[in-house]
């Protein structure tokens, strides 16, 4: 079990339980006998990531909900499975006015299209900049022009899909280890190779980080603008993550691979599917949390990346409620 940035990561089989108004984790051996116990102080936790087989009872779940603790569940192969999130009087006070404005923005085709386009502008420009800053030429103007002409969400998604296809090709000029991590085609559920497994895991982590920050605001995570909310319970975090995946997740992948912190030995095959070793997950999570707690200067403020993400959510809220202009965060824009 690891703790970083008020986030706990459970990598071993065991049990989460409430005792004395705190949460404890009992680690199991192969026969499900308790071999170690650690305390998780309730006031030092924001979220728990569960990447192993863990027993938990409803009494403990309710206690964590009362204390605004999010639970994120992953399969043994590192794919995201779901969340348990607070919905109690102790949660952020949600405004009925903000909810109505968010619904109105979604129902207004022009307003929704505007937000979806701006989010996609952020995704394209931040992705293209990853290649540019490494000396790899990437012309994003083709996609930005096509985006400007898009008249529907499906057309925006088509532009984004075309951009991603070319963007991933650029990765082969950035990632040094082409023997083990050459990108050919994006595959999911399950990822077909090591580079796709790494992309899927990092994307899932970004979705959960963004979702955690949305819960700290008044916006409703079930109502997105780019991704259709009809087919999933939550969608706003998928929208906002598009802006930050190139900045945080993709750059982390390049760093981890080119510094040889993640190699072919960081994976193992289980039941015919790729999965990370526990040591690899510790490296990835340590790097992720270090990144999220890194500070950047915006104007006169020093903000962590978590705070920058929450700031972005509030900028969208301001657009929804006050009809102010919304520009996505860009990593190459003067801070």
More confident residue, 127 or 69: 127
> How high is the pLDDT of residue 2?
44
User: Which stretches of the chain are DSSP H helices?
Assistant: 58-66, 96-107, 109-132, 141-149, 153-174, 178-181, 194-214, 236-244, 251-258, 278-292, 305-322
Please say if the pLDDT value at position 4 is more than 70.
no
> How high is the pLDDT of residue 92?
56
> How high is the pLDDT of residue 90?
46
Please say if the pLDDT value at position 319 is more than 70.
yes
> How high is the pLDDT of residue 246?
96
More confident residue, 138 or 123: 123
Report yes or no: 19 and 41 within 8 Å, Cβ to Cβ. no
Kindly report, as residue ranges, where domains of CATH 1.20.120.920 are found in the chain.
Answer: 96-322
Q: Which span out of 285-289, 318-322, 331-335 was modeled with the highest average pLDDT?
A: 318-322
pLDDT digits (tens, 9 = 90+) for 5-17: 678 888 888 999 9
Please say if the pLDDT value at position 104 is more than 70.
yes
> How high is the pLDDT of residue 87?
62
More confident residue, 231 or 146: 146
> How high is the pLDDT of residue 285?
86
Report yes or no: 216 and 210 within 8 Å, Cβ to Cβ. no
pLDDT digits (tens, 9 = 90+) for 55-73: 999 988 888 888 888 888 8
pLDDT digits (tens, 9 = 90+) for 174-232: 999 998 999 999 988 788 899 999 999 999 889 989 988 998 888 998 899 998 776 66
> How high is the pLDDT of residue 258?
95
> How high is the pLDDT of residue 234?
80
Residue carrying structure tokens 């800053």: 133
CB-count burial class (<10 Å; 0-12, 13-18, 19+) for 325: exposed
User: Which DSSP category does 250 fall into?
Assistant: I
> How high is the pLDDT of residue 163?
95
pLDDT digits (tens, 9 = 90+) for 79-101: 677 777 766 544 556 778 999 99
CA distance 52 to 175: 30
| CA proximity to 32, closest of 50, 18, 53 | 53
> How high is the pLDDT of residue 96?
86
Kindly report, as residue ranges, where domains of CATH 3.100.10.20 are found in the chain.
Answer: 2-84
Report yes or no: 86 and 47 within 8 Å, Cβ to Cβ. no
Report yes or no: 67 and 90 within 8 Å, Cβ to Cβ. yes
pLDDT digits (tens, 9 = 90+) for 227-271: 877 666 788 999 999 999 999 999 999 999 999 999 999 998 877
| CA proximity to 63, closest of 16, 111, 29, 96 | 16
Domain 96-322 maps to which CATH number in 3.40.1160.10, 2.102.10.10, 3.40.50.300, 1.20.120.920? 1.20.120.920
Compute CA 165 distance to the chain's CA centroid, rounded to the nearest angstrom: 20
* Superfamily holding 2-84: CRISPR-associated endonuclease Cas1, N-terminal domain (3.100.10.20)
pTM of the model: 0.82
């Amino acid at each position: 079990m690891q703790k970083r940035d008020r986030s706990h990561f459970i990598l071993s089989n065991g049990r989460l339980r409430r005792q004395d108004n705190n949460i404890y984790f009992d680690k199991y051996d192969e026969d499900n006998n308790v071999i170690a116990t650690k305390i998780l102080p309730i006031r030092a936790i924001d979220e728990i990531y569960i990447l192993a087989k863990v027993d938990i009872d409803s009494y403990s779940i309710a206690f964590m909900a009362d204390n605004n603790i999010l639970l994120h569940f992953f399969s043994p192969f590192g794919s995201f499975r779901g969340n348990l999130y607070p919905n109690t009087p102790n949660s952020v006070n949600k405004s009925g006015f903000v909810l109505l404005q968010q619904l109105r923005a979604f129902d207004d085709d022009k307003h929704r299209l505007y937000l979806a386009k701006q989010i996609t502008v952020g995704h394209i420009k931040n992705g293209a900049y990853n290649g540019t800053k490494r000396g790899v030429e990437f012309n994003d103007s083709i996609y930005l022009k096509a985006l400007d002409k898009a008249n529907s969400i499906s057309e925006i998604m088509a532009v984004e899909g075309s951009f991603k296809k070319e963007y991933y090709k650029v990765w082969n000029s950035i990632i040094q280890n082409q023997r083990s991590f050459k990108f050919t085609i994006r595959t999911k559920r399950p990822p077909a190779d090591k580079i796709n497994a790494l992309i899927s895991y990092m994307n899932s982590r970004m979705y959960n980080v963004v979702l955690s920050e949305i819960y700290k605001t008044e916006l409703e995570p079930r109502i997105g603008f780019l991704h259709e909310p009809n087919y999933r319970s939550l969608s706003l975090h998928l929208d906002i993550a598009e802006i930050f995946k190139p900045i945080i997740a993709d750059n982390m992948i390049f760093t981890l691979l080119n510094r040889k912190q993640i190699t072919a030995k960081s994976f193992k095959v289980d039941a015919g599917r790729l999965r990370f070793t526990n040591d690899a997950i510790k490296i990835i999570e340590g790097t992720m949390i270090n990144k999220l707690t890194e500070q950047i200067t915006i104007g006169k403020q020093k903000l962590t990346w978590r705070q920058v993400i929450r700031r972005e959510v509030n900028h969208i809220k301001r657009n929804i409620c006050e009809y102010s202009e919304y520009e996505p965060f860009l990593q190459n824009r003067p801070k």
